[in-house]
Copies of this chain bind each other. A is one copy, B any other.
Amino acid sequence: MGGDDPQNIYDDPTFFAGYEQLDRFRAGWSDAFEWPAFSALLPPFSGKRVLDLGCGAGRLAHYAATHGAADVLGIDLSERMLAVARADCCHPRLRFQRAAMETVSFPPTTLDVVLSSLALHYVADYAGLMRRVSDWLTADGVLVFSVEHPVYLSRALPEGWVADVAGKPRYWTLDRYGDEGSREENWLTSGVRKHHRMVSTLLNGVIDAGLALECVIEPMPDPEMLAREPDWIYERKRPFCLLVRARKQ
């Protein structure tokens, strides 16, 4: 399979066995590092038609449904993740469908809100997807997404950090920031393919699709988060993810 085809890594048994151990899986989703910042970007859902691209275990789509959305569709390529989503996130106005972000299609101006949480870095043709999302959105429709930060994806050493004498993160190592394209990394298993794009490319993809950037966030831990997870202090050293809200013009 080429570097531009979707990779269904979440159905890889080794990957999935690792992923389901993550704190952010299932009930832990709302304790994820970026959730306070992500949720602050969400628009009112009341009466809205919502799409979640790369919905995974379905919690974000379920959140939209339980916050008043008229209709929510979560799509994902992974049967394993969709099985979890269907088991955990039953709601009368929420559907899940197996589909690739790269090829799924909707009629123009039929969606009010498009969401995506840490999934767009799996897509090769990001600019094309942004144009399709813009086409699907109604006037004044909203896109909110998170991706792994390009600085996070551009670590020089496999583990990213250089440690101090106590073994704690001292500084982050950065390399190949300007070299965009497909990258394979070891995360839960080998050969996990992600697509690196600079921050500027991510933002211009939104703008060039006809969406107005409303807010860009690089979440950092606040005192409340640090009280819960003291080791998140090291997250201040480098950005982990990039959050974007944009509006159809």
* Residues of A bordering B, CB below 8 Å: 151, 154, 156-157, 162, 170-179, 198-200, 203-204, 207, 212-218, 220, 235-239, 242
Contact A176 B213 (CB under 8 A): no
Contact A200 B218 (CB under 8 A): yes
Contact B198 A218 (CB under 8 A): yes
List the B side residues contacting A156 at CB < 8 Å. Answer: 170-172
Q: Which secondary structure dominates where chain A touches chain B?
A: mixed
Chain B, residue nearest A218 (CB)? B200
Name the 7 nearest CB pairs between A and B, nearest first. A156-B171, A178-B236, A178-B220, A172-B174, A171-B175, A200-B216, A200-B218
Contact B214 A207 (CB under 8 A): yes
Contact A174 B175 (CB under 8 A): no
Neighbour of A207 across the interface among B178, B213, B220, B242, CB < 8 A: B213
Contact A174 B174 (CB under 8 A): yes
Contact A178 B218 (CB under 8 A): yes
Contact B174 A238 (CB under 8 A): yes
Contact B173 A171 (CB under 8 A): yes
List the B side residues contacting A237 at CB < 8 Å. Answer: 174-178
Chain B, residue nearest A202 (CB)? B216
Contact A173 B173 (CB under 8 A): yes
A174-B171 contact given A151-B151, A215-B207, CB 8 Å threshold: yes
Contact A171 B199 (CB under 8 A): no
The CA-CA distance from A238 to B171 in the complex, in Å, is 15
List the B side residues contacting A214 at CB < 8 Å. Answer: 207
Q: A88: shortest Cβ distance to chain B, in Å?
A: 32
